[in-house]
Chain A
Amino acid sequence: MSGATRASLALAALGLVALAAALYLGPVPLADPFAADEATRTIVWEIRFPRALTAWLCGAALGLAGAALQGLLRNPLADSGVLGLSGFAALGAVIAFAFGFAAFAPALALAFALLAAIVVTALAWAARGPATLALIGVGLSSFAGGLIALALNLAPNPGALADLVNWTLGSVEGRSLNDAGLVGALFAVGAALILAAGRGLQALTLGEETAAALGANLSRTRAFVVLGAAACTGGATAVAGVIGFVGVAAPHLVRALAGHDPARLLAPSALAGGALLVFADIAVRLLPTDSELKLGVAAALIGGPVFALIAARLASRGGDA
């Protein structure tokens, strides 16, 4: 059994442990979440389970999108949040919410994530070095942030402002099985596209020109990854708002177990992202804060230092030359 398969099995088991733990733990600890009484059933199956499942699916979608974008751009700092896909997806959803088309929020999140993915991959293709790419992402994210602020500014219904700002912080609080279904469906589409591009990502290890000479169909690989990452990011952001760094942290943590082959990293990265976000969500529920810490804030607090660590390590290796 290869390292990647072992890692996948272990991380799938960890995900199940996380989902089970999410049923037991919370502001009201439950001794038996499978008890038949009405209160327990409501808490577990209408609140905790849909929330935990949504967190797992969002984490898996973002972890997978991160691993795929890193393979495509041959850059361990690439991720939906860093590259601005999440920011643009959020912009799409904010526009829908602020202007009274809430039903179209997922579609607009998806469309805007796709737009950002196309722009960033086109720009990144010519970029030299990880830092250049990160800077392109910073630029796009800031631009998306500015446009979100503009959308909020021009929103006809100022009462919704607080909700929208909250939403851009990222959370799975109060999500239903419908939400889980939405992110799950887009994750499934994204995963199918990304996994189909796996061999192309392996060839891209040797660079664009050599990959083409090896026989890889680069346009197909690029299109599948861009569409797949957009579907994953659009789905996760439409349901949970902006949650950054999962896509950086998950593949990074998994490489130690599964190796560096970009195709073999895809499944373990999704499984790691899912488990990571469920545990992070359990943590924000258990923390004794006055108002619940937002999941996106917690993810940034964990993922930010990981990002800085990878960047520093790359710089010390001369990876930015």
Chain B
Amino acid sequence: MNALLLENLSVRLRGACVVDHVSLHVGKGEVVALLGPNGAGKTSLLRAALGLIAHTGVVLLDGVSPLHLNARERALRAAYLPQRPRAAWPISVEALVALGRFAHGAAPDRLGADDRLAVDDAIEACGLVTLRDRRIDVISGGERARAHLARTLAQRAPLILLDEPTASLDPAQALGVMSVLRKHAGAGGAVLFSTHDIALAANAADRVVLLCGGKVLAAGSAEALTPAVLERAYGRKGRLEHLRGGHAALFEA
């Protein structure tokens, strides 16, 4: 069974159709990248997949519609990292990560043994061990992004949806995030993440889905991102080239 299945998903925001009959799936053990220019509908798709915004069509989280799940049950199946995550109060990195245990009935000041283990694992996986007691407002942007990622991992949900998780990261940190997500998939989890980094998607994901104007323009392996497809999506010619075993997306001037 797929961790996430979308069939004919459509989302209308303020009268405009921002996701238009999209079908896709993410299997267990898979990392899928969601590509597309600004306004393609990536964020709306991720929100609708969690049932956070109104939509039509079918959404199944591990075979169950999020509409039939309460917030807690849904959070036990899927974790979500929004674009530009923020913390309103200057809490510690550890307290922020511990918020990921909410659906398990824990609070940052009341963690059971399982919660403690999940928080410690997430902090270690994201390289935050030395920062765990630091306040979230005094660490760097990249460290903060990793803290929010750790919070998402601590939720221990099989499916993780991430909205541009590498947007504020340097290339090394972005690759670090990808290896964390790959490890999650390797352990039987599933990952769907949106990104503007075509090369990163081609390198790190098992499959890519390219959205444009709310519709799926291309889906499959990185080879589906042909120069013609990229031009249709981004309005400029580009091609993916293999560089020393990896991919690089190049846009012609």
**A residues whose Cβ falls under 8 Å from a Cβ of B:** 2, 4, 74-75, 198-199, 202-207, 209-210, 212-218, 259-264
Quick check: is B132 within 8 A (CB to CB) of the other chain?
A: no
On whether the beta carbons of B99 and A202 are closer than 8 Å, the reply is yes
Which B residues are CB-close (under 8 A) to A202?
A: 99, 102, 107-108
A261–B50 touching, CB < 8 Å: no
B47–A206 touching, CB < 8 Å: no
Q: Is B155 an interface residue (CB 8 A)?
A: yes
Q: Which residues of B contact A213 (CB under 8 A)?
A: 50, 52, 74-75, 78-80, 82
Report chain A residues within 8 Å CB of B78: 213
Q: Is the CB of B102 within 8 A of A261?
A: no
Tell me the bound Cα distance from A202 to B102 in angstroms: 9
Q: A4-B109, A217-B70, A217-B71 are in contact. List 7 more A-B contacts (CB 8 A).
A: A209-B47, A209-B82, A210-B82, A213-B75, A216-B102, A261-B89, A263-B107
Of A199, A205, A217, which one neighbours B89 at CB under 8 angstroms? A205
Residues of B within 8 A of A199 (CB): 102, 107
In the complex, residue of chain B having the shortest beta-carbon distance to the beta carbon of A2: B109
Q: Is B72 part of the contact surface with A, judged by Cβ < 8 Å?
A: yes
Q: Does B90 contact A (CB under 8 A)?
A: yes
- B68-89 interface mask toward A, CB cutoff 8 Å, 1 = contact, 0 = none? 0011111110111010011111
Is the pair A214, B90 in contact by a Cβ cutoff of 8 Å? no
Chain B residues in 8 Å Cβ range of A209: 47, 52, 80, 82
Which residues of chain A come closer than 8 Å to B212, judged between CB atoms? Answer: none
> A264, B82: Cβ atoms under 8 Å?
no
- Contact of B91 (CB < 8 Å), options: A210, A214, A259: A259
A262 contacts across to B, CB distance below 8 A: 89
Contact A260 B100 (CB under 8 A): no
CB neighbours (8 Å) of A264 from chain B are 109
Q: Which residues of B are found within 8 Å of A217, using beta-carbon distances?
A: 70-72
For residue B103, CB closer than 8 A to chain A, the reply is yes
Complex A-B: 16 CB contacts under 8 Å: A199-B102, A202-B107, A202-B108, A204-B88, A206-B85, A206-B86, A212-B52, A213-B80, A214-B75, A214-B103, A215-B71, A218-B71, A259-B91, A260-B91, A261-B89, A261-B95
Q: How far is A2 from B108 in the complex, measured between Cα atoms in Å? A: 12
Nearest-CB residue, chain A, relative to B70:
A217
Complex: A75 Cα to B52 Cα, angstroms? 23
Q: Considering the chains assembled together, what is the distance between the CA atoms of A216 and B104 in angstroms?
A: 11
Give the number of chain B interface residues (Cβ < 8 Å). Answer: 32
| A205 and B99 within 8 A (CB) | yes
User: Given B72, B76, B90, B151, which contacts A260 in the complex, CB threshold below 8 Å?
Assistant: B90
Instruction: Contacts A74-B88, A261-B89, A261-B109 given; indicate if A214 touches B100 (C-beta within 8 A).
Output: yes
Min CB distance A93 to B, Å, is 33
The interface residues of chain B lying within 8 Å CB-to-CB of A261 are 89, 91, 95, 108-109
Select from chain B the residue with minimum beta-carbon distance to A214.
B102
A125 CB, min distance to chain B CBs, angstroms = 14
Does B85 contact A203, Cβ atoms closer than 8 Å?
Answer: no
Closest to A4 in B: B109
- Residues of B close to A206: CB separation below 8 A: 85-88, 96, 99, 151
Cβ–Cβ contact B76 & A205, under 8 A: no
B78, B90, B102, B107: residue with the most chain A Cβ atoms closer than 10 Å: B102
Q: How far is the CB of B51 from chain A (nearest CB, A)?
A: 9
Using CB atoms, name the residue of chain A closest to B101: A214
Q: Is the CB of B74 within 8 A of A207?
A: no
Nearest 10 CB-CB pairings of A with B:
A215-B75, A215-B103, A74-B88, A213-B80, A260-B89, A215-B72, A214-B102, A215-B71, A215-B102, A205-B88
Q: How far is the CA of A194 from the CA of B95 in the complex (A)?
A: 21
A75 to B88 CA separation, bound complex (whole angstroms): 8
* A205–B109 CB distance below 8 A: no
Inter-chain CA distance A206–B91, complex, in Å, is 11
Alpha-carbon distance between A218 and B108 when the two chains are bound, in angstroms: 18
Q: Quick one: which of A198, A204, A210, A260 contacts B85, CB cutoff 8 A?
A: A210
Which B36-52 residues have a C-beta within 8 angstroms of A?
47, 50, 52
**Least distance between A1 CB and chain B CB atoms (Å):** 11
Partner of A203, one of B80, B86, B102: B102
Q: Which residue of B lies closest to A199 (CB)?
A: B107
Which residues of chain B have C-beta atoms less than 8 A from A203's C-beta? 99, 102
- Complex Cα–Cα for A205 and B95 (A): 11
